[in-house]
Chain A
Amino acid sequence: MSEEVKKAKTVDPNSAKYMLNKIIEDHYAGLKIAKDNGEKIGWCASNFPQEIYETLGIKVGYPENQAAAIAARGAGAKLCEVSESDGYSNDICAYARISLAYAKLKDVPEQNMPLPDFLLCCNNICNCMIKWYENLSKELNIPLILIDIPFNPDYELSDSEFNYVKAQFLDAIRQLEEITGKKWDNDKFKEVMENSKRASRAWLKATSYTQYEPSPLNGFDLLNHMAVAVCSRGKKESGEAFEQLAKEYEQSVKDGTSTFRAEEKYRILFEGIACWPHLRATSQGLKSRGMNMVGTIYTQAFGFDYEDFDDMIRRYCSVPNAINLELSRDKRIDIIKNTKTQGALVHTNRSCKLWSGFMYEMSRQFGEACHIPVVSFDGDQADPRNFSEAQYDTRVQGLQELIDAGRGGSI
Chain B
Amino acid sequence: MRTVNEIFEQFGKAAGHPEHMMKQYLKDGKKVVLCAPVYTPEEIIHSMGMVPFGAWGADKEIEGAKRYFPAFICSIMQSILDLGIDGTYDGATAIVIPSLCDSLKVLGENWKYAVPGIPFIPMTYPQNRKTEAGREFTKNSYKRVIKDLEKYSGEKFSMKSLAESNKVYNNHNHAMRRLSDMLPDYDFITPKQRSDIFKSAFFMMKEEHTALVEELMEALEKTETKQNSKIRVITTGIIADNSDLLSILEENNMVVVGDDIANESRQYRVDAPCIEDALDSLVEKFVSMDNCSVLYDMDKKRGDHIVNMAAEKKADGIIILMTKFCDPEEFDYVMLKKAFEKARIPFVTIEVDRQMVNYQQANTIIQTFSDMLN
- Hey, which bits of chain A sit against chain B, CB under 8 A? 86-89, 91-93, 96, 123, 126-128, 130-132, 134-135, 137-138, 143-144, 146-148, 150-154, 158, 160-161, 163-164, 167-168, 171, 324-325, 348, 350, 353-354, 356-362
Contacts and interface: CB of A to CB of B under 8 A. Distances in A.
Going nearest first, the 10 A-B pairs with the smallest beta carbon separation are A357-B106, A167-B133, A131-B331, A153-B122, A160-B140, A164-B137, A148-B127, A358-B109, A89-B330, A325-B109
Contacts of B328: 127, 131
Contact of A130 (B73, B120, B296, B325): B296
B134 interface: yes
B56 to A, nearest CB: 18
B102 A127 contact: yes
A353 B124 contact: no
30 contacts: A87-B333, A87-B337, A89-B322, A92-B327, A93-B327, A96-B331, A127-B328, A128-B327, A130-B296, A131-B293, A131-B331, A134-B331, A137-B298, A138-B298, A146-B296, A148-B128, A150-B124, A151-B99, A153-B124, A154-B122, A160-B137, A161-B124, A163-B137, A348-B70, A350-B72, A353-B103, A357-B105, A358-B110, A360-B68, A361-B109
Contacts of A88: 330-331, 333-334
A259 B302 CA distance: 52
B67 interface: yes
B128 A357 contact: no
Contact of B331 (A92, A160, A161, A163): A92
A324 B110 CA distance: 10
A130 B105 CA distance: 15
Interface residues of B, number: 54
A358 to B, nearest CB: 4
A152 B108 CA distance: 11
Contact of B296 (A86, A135, A138, A148): A148
Given A91-B325, A324-B109, A127 B101 contact: yes
Contact of A160 (B127, B141, B330): B141
B133 A353 contact: no
Nearest to B108: A153
B131 interface: yes
B125 interface: yes
B369 interface: no
B162 interface: no
B102 A354 contact: yes
Given A93-B327, A131-B331, A357 B137 contact: no
B131 A128 contact: no
Contacts of B293: 131
B297 interface: yes
A151 B124 contact: yes
Interface centre among B109, B124, B324 (most CB of A within 10 A): B109
Contact of B131 (A132, A144, A171, A358): A171
B8 interface: no
